[in-house]
Amino acid sequence: MNTDELIESYVKKAEDLFADGFNCAQAVFAACAQLFGIDEQTALRLSASFGGGMGRMHYTCGAASAMFMLEGLCSGSATPRDTEGKMNNYVQVRLLADSFRATFGSITCSELLAMGQGRKTPCKQLVAGAVRIFLHKNAYLFADMQ
């Protein structure tokens, strides 16, 4: 499988999780968690609170929040006072946020839902897009799979 096919298999997994009733954050995070050795049940529990714009308060989109959590697994620092590492992670998160915003118009749940008025909520597309954006940015994760 090439990188695009691999990415689409993760998109499909996220869409399936969302269709099964998991929230947007759970679908994105759990679909990609195995790349980091995190089992699905742990991933679903860890990301559960971020759905609906964080506890259904409609703040930052849960799909975007899940991307940011995944980025923490890629570039987050676990060293105290690692200012350089922390700043690098923030830059990476901003790149993801900029890409998500460029694709969907916002990273704020309430704004994204308002843009979808008159039709079904855009959440399935946001889930798929978040997985694509994250995995295209971090395609190196597939180096051993090809």
Q: For residue range 126-139, list pLDDT tens digits in order.
A: 999 999 999 999 99
Under 8 Å CB-to-CB from 113, ≥6 apart: which residues? 58, 121, 122
Instruction: Output the pLDDT for position 146.
Output: 62
At 46, the amino acid letter reads L
Query: At residue 118, does pLDDT exceed 70?
Result: no
Residue 110 to residue 57: CA distance in whole angstroms: 8
Please state the rounded mean pLDDT for residues 30-42.
97
Instruction: Output the pLDDT for position 143.
Output: 84
Instruction: Output the pLDDT for position 125.
Output: 96
Query: pTM, whole model, 2 decimals?
Result: 0.96
Residue 114 to residue 122: CA distance in whole angstroms: 10
Share of the chain above pLDDT 90, in %: 91
Residue 98 to residue 107: CA distance in whole angstroms: 9
Instruction: Output the pLDDT for position 119.
Output: 64
